[in-house]
Amino acid sequence: MSITGSLDSSPSKKIFWLGVFSYTILALLAIVFYKERTIFCDVAFRFYAMIEADDYAIQANRFGSYFTQSFLYLSQSIGLPLKYVMLNYSVGFIVYKALAFFICLSGLKKPKFALTILFVDVLMVSETFYWIQSELVESLSFLILYFAFLEYSAERKVHILRLLLLLGMLVTAVFFHPLSFINLTFFSIFLFLSTKNTSLKKHLFVGFTALIGLLILKTLYFKTAYDTAASNGLNNFIKFFPDYVSIPSNKYFAYHLLTDYYFLPLLWLAVLAYYAKQRYTMKFALLFCFVLGYILLINVSRPKGHMIFHMESFYMPLSLFISLAFIHDVLPLLAKKQAIVLLFCIVSCRLLHIGFQHEKFSAPIEWKEALIKETAHLENKKLAIYYKDAPENLMLTWGSSYEFWMLSTLETGVTRSIIIYTNPKTMTAGRMGGKNVFLFEWGGCFQSDLPKTYFNFQDSTHPYVFYKPLPK
């Protein structure tokens, strides 16, 4: 008897405890490496934006991130120390994913969807565990939950409240990220091909029709400059035509398939082999075309592909496509004991892999901590550092002001004003000479305007000065 095939109405205890084990480990990692997950570029900026405005920081209409942002917003609203705001936000992402898993498993009695969520949360996750900002990654758990609830609703009499909830979830999923429509499309077609249930087919058809309508409305009335700029990468299909093979992003992706995403091609080939053997032509074509087509879309749109923590977030839907097919069609072929052993081995291996990825993100934190100590004796501690004088492993420096604010306040209780700049022309005497200012890459603000609970400046009477860190 398979682990999922006959358990849709009575979730397996083994799946439940596998979820408990997995999300407990992920939560512990999120606690241990909370600095790495929060004191990093985009996330540090989100901390600044939300604490400075005492409000949510929803960008480009991606309001699906309200849930995870609530961990940060509510923590700072009640005045928790910065450390616990950071911890709550770091762990909040795991709580969000775990809730989706257990709602699918124990609430909706959909173990296949629950296992798909778990696989998506570990199968391809490597550096994105430490770069938690991506709404695309956040959206995956939510849209799996949407389809689990859609199937749950299709098995029951039509109820207006369930339909309204489904519509609200679909709207949220569409607005979560511009690429969400690809994931929604794949999921809809896959389930349509997988079921003989007429009611579910009707729900899927209506949902897909609503999806098209929502995409049209979003394109016409909710277009944002950020998403428009991001879509400019599609012009590369013309630029590189017809050579889409030799671009650097393909080489980087192939390398990381071997070093980070090793289970992905194995599961993909296993599913394709099963579909070929069973002559499931439509499913074979769906999975084959969506996987290769999506890789082409991302790699051509972003041909440099060198910031893997960023690229990985765009690759994450691949884990959805493959996990969904594997868990729905191949895993049920195994005996229950074999299936649970396989799941435990894959998940455990991936959890270990995620834990070992911290070094790349710990090193910049350690350098910043050392710099804070190195400059503690200076009379004027308000510093501007040229990026070429900083280590290359900092990866991105545009968020340095926010990172030093968080780290110095956390470690010493005093907020340091330190910026790592990339363009010397922007560091004019007039800009650096202001005493009551806090500078960042694209502007600055008055220190006195920032909430004292989290910004304890002691350098308001000093201007910024240039500083070159001591060689290590």
259-268 pLDDT, tens digit per residue, is 999 999 999 9
State the average pLDDT over residues 68-77.
Answer: 98
The per-residue pLDDT for 128 is 96
Structure tokens at 172: 């949220």
**E strands, 368-429, where?**
383-386, 418-421
H-run or E-run covering 445: strand 443-446
The per-residue pLDDT for 284 is 98
Query: Any idea which of 22-31, 59-68, 188-197 has the lowest mean pLDDT?
Result: 59-68
> What are the tens digits of pLDDT across the range 290-299?
999 999 999 9
Per the CB < 8 A criterion, the answer to whether 400 and 364 are in contact is: no
State the average pLDDT over residues 77-96.
Answer: 98
Query: Any idea which of 144-153, 230-239, 241-250 has the lowest mean pLDDT?
Result: 230-239
The per-residue pLDDT for 394 is 87
DSSP for 345-380? HHHHHHHHHHHHTTHHHHHHHHHHHHHHHHTTT-S-
The per-residue pLDDT for 366 is 96
Residue 412 has pLDDT above 60, yes or no: yes
CB 234: neighbour CB atoms within 10 A?
11
Distance in angstroms (rounded) separating the CA atoms of residues 472 and 232:
41
> What are the tens digits of pLDDT across the range 283-327?
999 999 999 999 999 999 999 987 899 999 999 999 999 999 999
Residue 362 has pLDDT above 70, yes or no: yes
Listed in sequence order, the residues at least 6 apart from 22 whose beta carbon sits closer than 8 Å to its beta carbon are 118, 121, 122, 347, 351
The per-residue pLDDT for 395 is 85
Query: Any idea which of 88-92, 228-232, 233-237, 344-348 has the lowest mean pLDDT?
Result: 228-232
The per-residue pLDDT for 338 is 93
Q: What is the mean pLDDT of the chain?
A: 94
The per-residue pLDDT for 4 is 55
Query: Any idea which of 92-96, 221-225, 293-297, 347-351 has the lowest mean pLDDT?
Result: 221-225
Could you tell me the pLDDT band of residue 9, with boundaries at 50, 70 and 90? very low
Distance in angstroms (rounded) separating the CA atoms of residues 156 and 168:
19
Could you tell me the pLDDT band of residue 392, with boundaries at 50, 70 and 90? confident
Amino acid at 325: A
> What are the tens digits of pLDDT across the range 110-152?
999 999 999 999 999 999 999 998 999 999 999 999 999 999 9
Residue 6 has pLDDT above 90, yes or no: no
If 0-12 CB within 10 Å is exposed, 13-18 middle and 19+ buried, where does residue 22 land? Answer: buried
pTM: 0.94
Distance in angstroms (rounded) separating the CA atoms of residues 260 and 62:
29
The per-residue pLDDT for 109 is 94
